[in-house]
Structures are given as structure tokens and as C-alpha cells.
Chain A
Amino acid sequence: MLILSVSLSFIIQKLILIACIFGGSLGVALYSTWAERKVAAVMQDRRGPNRAGPFGLFQPLADGVKMFMKEEIIPMFSSKFLFILGPCLSMIVALMTSAVVPWGPDMKFRDGSSVPLQVADVNVGILFIFGVLSVGVYGIMLGSWASNNKYSLLSGLRAASQAISYELALGISIIAMVMMTGSLSLREIVDQQTGLNWNVFKQPIAFLIFLVCSFAELNRAPFDLAECESELIGGFHTEYSSMKLGFYLFSEYISMFVTSAIISTLFFGGYHLPGLDSLAPHMPGWAFSLLGVGVLLGKSICFILFFMFIRWTIPRFRYDQLMNLGWKSLIPLALVNMLITGAVILLKSH
């Protein structure tokens, strides 16, 4: 019955928004690959890609064309369906999280109508993100298992146990934050953080744990043990070629962007910036909305750069170190943080 009450304009509105977010995340991810190579080069006193177009800006296109032109190989003894499903799942899941992120303040028009810049204001937004994130590791697991390759299988095992271990700390660190905000909806969490009232100042430890765990969840250095080139020959994507490999690599950049947006949303005020609200009366509603989107994008790009800086600074952890850090440091720390937060909230309410 609920479905019938949805009007056509609402569907079109959402479809346009989805298309924008889809294109936007793909675009940002596309240029993340370029930025990653540029950042790596600059940190190693090199020049980086600078042949294709000005500053090498067409490099991602060249990479894409290369990926499409490559020969597509499916190993003979792999289970074909799962082999193809792996990279697809990675990609879908990477894109799905962006649905609940509020990208900007509501777009207000002259006639009083307003359009929210969020695909779905789910009241359990954070739970949705965690759910989707947990599915994310299935892409790697299925792909690596279906490859029928021992290195891939090892990588799949690593990815799965790593994801499970770090999801715990991730979840607990967020519980402390949710206790404070009293809401699971990302929109509400953002709107509590106007000005400089950012959650990172209230929950620095939760932020730290969340950040470290997101490195692990994204399979990025220093926790990229699943694709450890030196021991696992690329790990789960050893047997992949052509655009299926491209999907795996690309989905990593998309989830990096979306995770950056989520960190900005949860801890750094999302589209709020001190002094920004005072501009609202002086400009049309849609421009102010776009300004908010710009602020969130700026914050996300800062985090993407931070992810890259870390990747090119810190060597990869050993697997036992990874497990020690997860189980013996981060989870207890997150639990203590949760306990203290709970106690403080309890004391304040009395």
C-alpha cells in the first residue's frame, strides 16, 4: 500500500539523485586512481603520470581502455558463476553504502518545495552501513574461493577473518557515538553537528578506532593483507584479468570515497562548516545546498588523501600483528570507551 502512494515526481527526483551520486562516486573514484599514483610519486620524489593530457589527467581513461582491451581469462576449474559474481558484488556493495549518506542540506526552491539530497533517510542508517559493509567482504571471499587457486583462497581466508575481527571494534566504537547522539539516522547525526560541534571532539577515541578499522575494512595499506603482493601474488585477484580485475580495483576506490564521506558525516560535521549557515540568507536555496555538497566533498577528499598518505608511509602489518591489534587493543579500547561514555551520559542525566 505504501508503494502506491509514491508519486511519479518523487521517483524521478530520486532517480536523478541516484544518477548524480552514482556518477559522482564513479568520477571521484576514477580520479582517486590518478591521485593515488600522483601522491605516491610525489612522496617518492618522482613525477607520476604526466603523459596523458595535462598533468596526466586522462590517465584514468587510458587505464580504463587498457582494462577493457585485455584478454578475459576464466580459469578452467573455477566455478564460473561465482567467479563472475565476486567482482560484481564488490562493486555493488561499494556503491550501495552511498545511499544513506546525506550529501547536503535540503534543496529549497522559491515555491517552498524542498528536495532532500539523500537517497534514503533510513532511520537505521548506521545499521544499514554496517550491514552492507559486512556483505562487502563476500565479494572478495567468493572471488577468491571460485578462483580455484591456493593463493586466492589464502587471501580470501585472510580477508574474511580480518573483516570479522575489525567489524567488532568498528561496531562498538560507533555504539559509544550512537549513545551520545541518540539516533541512528545519519541525517540527524549530521544536523546535531552544526558549527564546530563536531563529534570528533566529543568522541576522539571512537573516531580513532573507527578510522583504523575502516582501513582494515577497506583492505587498504597497512592492512591490505588480502592482496599482499609479496606473498600472495595479488591475493584474491590473482586469477582475474580484464575488467573483472578492474572492478575489484575500482570498487576499492569507490568504497574509499564512500567511507571517507561516512567518516566526515559521522565525525566531522558532514556538510556543516563553522560560519557557513550565516551565508544561507544571502544566496538562493539551491546554491546553498550545492555549497554544502562541496563542503562534504572537500572533507571526503581530505580523508581520501589521508588514506593515500598512510598507504605510502606505513609498511604492511604482519598477520599476527593485525590480529593482535584488532583483538587485544582496539576491541578492549572500544569497550572501555563505550563504558565511559555510558557512565558519563548516565551521570549527566541525573
Chain B
Amino acid sequence: MAYTISNRAKPVDRKPMTFAEKLYLPAIAKGLTITLGHIFKKKATINYPEVQREFSSTFRGLHILNRDEEGRERCTACGLCALSCPAEAITMEAAERTKDEEHLYREEKYAASYEINMLRCIFCGLCEEACPKDAIYLTQTFAPANYDRKGFIYKKEDLLIPQKN
């Protein structure tokens, strides 16, 4: 019985083997030409640490928290990223800016703590899309290996891009 779900499906050939097939040798020779042909083919792998493949331009990697032109944190702890996160990886605590912190935070409210659990994160980029303040972005790097689970909870210090000066 032949299934016709797709055009690629072929019915299995259950005819008894012919004498030439029973000899195995032609088939072995054919197999050898295929494998020997692969010797001269381009390698599919690269010498990893020395040579690295480029990520695609749409690659979604580790998050960063952005600063504005004056070096102030853009995040206002509105919580939209956490809300949009399907993996519930983001937690934050908001705080109010005082008078002498105006050079640090862009608006009156800021994130006192901001954590992303990289083990939960699925790197979908919805936080990036949800952010109304252009504060969170996904970069082209990925989270390096770590020895314990705690190391994968990235704090605000890990996520913020450093000051320019």
C-alpha cells in the first residue's frame, strides 16, 4: 500500500533481491565511491575558537540595558518587558529618583534592581519590542557557560552597558 501524503513518499520496494544485489559487491563499490567522494568536499565544520561563524543580522542574544546620550539609564521600571515576557524571566523593582540622582536616571522612576534569569529566557525578543523607552536590547552575544544556576541570573550591573567616558 502506497501512502500519498506527500509526493516525496515512496512505497518500500519489497521485491526479492536479484543476483547482482545478493552479491553485495556492486552496492559496496557504490557506497565507497560516495564516501570517497566526500573526502574532497568542503568541510561542514570550522575550527571553532579560532574561526567563528557570523551570526545573522537578526540574531537575538544576551540583553543589554541602554543609556541615553548623556549616559543616563533609560529604563523607567515600567514593567512592560516583564509583562510581555512569555518565559517570565524578568523581575524588577522600581524606585523614585531623588534630586541628586538626575544625572544617573533619565526619568523620575528607575529600576532599583533588574534581573533576567538566562536559564528561563527563550531569547524571543518580546521585551525589546515591548519597551517604550528603547531601554532593553538583545545583542549578538550569548550567555557563557557557568558553574551554578545563580550565575545565570543576570543583575542590573551585568546588563547595563558601561558608561562611555
CA distance A42 to B36 in the complex (A): 9
Chain B residues numbered 13-31 whose CB sits less than 8 Å from any CB in chain A = 24, 28, 31
A50 contacts the other chain (Cβ, under 8 Å)? Answer: yes
CB <8 Å contact, B43 and A50: no
Residues of chain A within 8 A (CB-CB) of B35 are 43, 309, 312-313
B32 contacts the other chain (Cβ, under 8 Å)? Answer: yes
CA distance A42 to B40 in the complex (A): 8
CA distance A346 to B23 in the complex (A): 30
B47 contacts the other chain (Cβ, under 8 Å)? Answer: yes
B12 contacts the other chain (Cβ, under 8 Å)? Answer: no
CB <8 Å contact, A313 and B39: no
CB <8 Å contact, B43 and A46: yes
CA distance A310 to B33 in the complex (A): 11
B41 contacts the other chain (Cβ, under 8 Å)? Answer: yes
A111 contacts the other chain (Cβ, under 8 Å)? Answer: no
CB <8 Å contact, A45 and B42: yes
Closest residue of A by beta carbon distance from B33: A313
CB <8 Å contact, B43 and A313: no
Residues of chain B within 8 A (CB-CB) of A46 are 43-45
Contact of A313 among B31, B41, B45 (CB under 8 A): B31
Residues of chain B within 8 A (CB-CB) of A7 are none
Residues of chain B within 8 A (CB-CB) of A43 are 35-36, 38-39
A318 contacts the other chain (Cβ, under 8 Å)? Answer: no
Closest residue of B by beta carbon distance from A45: B44
Contact with B along A297-334 (1 / 0, CB 8 A): 00000000000011011100000000001000000000
CB <8 Å contact, B47 and A313: no
CB <8 Å contact, B31 and A314: yes
CA distance A325 to B24 in the complex (A): 10
A66 contacts the other chain (Cβ, under 8 Å)? Answer: no
Closest residue of A by beta carbon distance from B29: A313
A47 contacts the other chain (Cβ, under 8 Å)? Answer: yes
CB <8 Å contact, B47 and A47: yes
Chain B residues numbered 118-153 whose CB sits less than 8 Å from any CB in chain A = none
Q: Tell me how far the C-beta of A305 lies from the nearest C-beta in chain B, rounded to whole angstroms.
A: 10
CB <8 Å contact, B32 and A310: yes
Contact of B32 among A42, A47, A313 (CB under 8 A): A313
Contact of A45 among B31, B32, B41, B47 (CB under 8 A): B41
Closest residue of B by beta carbon distance from A50: B47
Residues of chain B within 8 A (CB-CB) of A50 are 47
Residues of chain A within 8 A (CB-CB) of B39 are 42-43
Residues of chain A within 8 A (CB-CB) of B44 are 45-46
Residues of chain B within 8 A (CB-CB) of A314 are 28, 31
A44 contacts the other chain (Cβ, under 8 Å)? Answer: yes
Q: Tell me how far the C-beta of B53 lies from the nearest C-beta in chain A, rounded to whole angstroms.
A: 14
Closest residue of A by beta carbon distance from B38: A43
Contact flag A47-B28 (CB < 8 Å), given A309-B35, A312-B35 = no
CB <8 Å contact, B32 and A309: yes
CA distance A312 to B32 in the complex (A): 9
CA distance A309 to B31 in the complex (A): 10
CA distance A310 to B34 in the complex (A): 12
Contact with B along A277-312 (1 / 0, CB 8 A): 000000000000000000000000000000001101
Q: Tell me how far the C-beta of A330 lies from the nearest C-beta in chain B, rounded to whole angstroms.
A: 11
Residues of chain B within 8 A (CB-CB) of A325 are 24
CA distance A283 to B9 in the complex (A): 66
Chain A residues numbered 186-211 whose CB sits less than 8 Å from any CB in chain B = none
Residues of chain B within 8 A (CB-CB) of A312 are 35
Contact with B along A43-59 (1 / 0, CB 8 A): 11111001000000000
CB <8 Å contact, B28 and A45: no
Closest residue of A by beta carbon distance from B40: A42
Residues of chain A within 8 A (CB-CB) of B32 are 309-310, 313
CA distance A47 to B28 in the complex (A): 25
Q: Tell me how far the C-beta of B9 lies from the nearest C-beta in chain A, rounded to whole angstroms.
A: 23
CA distance A246 to B94 in the complex (A): 61
Other A-B contacts than A43-B35, A43-B39, A46-B45, 10 sampled, CB-CB below 8 A, are: A42-B38, A42-B39, A43-B38, A44-B38, A45-B44, A47-B45, A47-B47, A309-B32, A310-B28, A313-B35
Q: Can you list 24 A-B contacts (CB < 8 A)?
A: A42-B38, A42-B39, A43-B35, A43-B38, A43-B39, A44-B38, A45-B38, A45-B43, A45-B44, A45-B45, A46-B44, A46-B45, A47-B43, A47-B45, A47-B47, A50-B47, A309-B32, A309-B35, A309-B36, A312-B35, A313-B31, A313-B32, A313-B35, A325-B24
- Nearest first, the 8 closest Cβ-Cβ pairs linking A and B are A45-B44, A313-B35, A313-B31, A43-B35, A42-B39, A46-B45, A43-B38, A313-B32
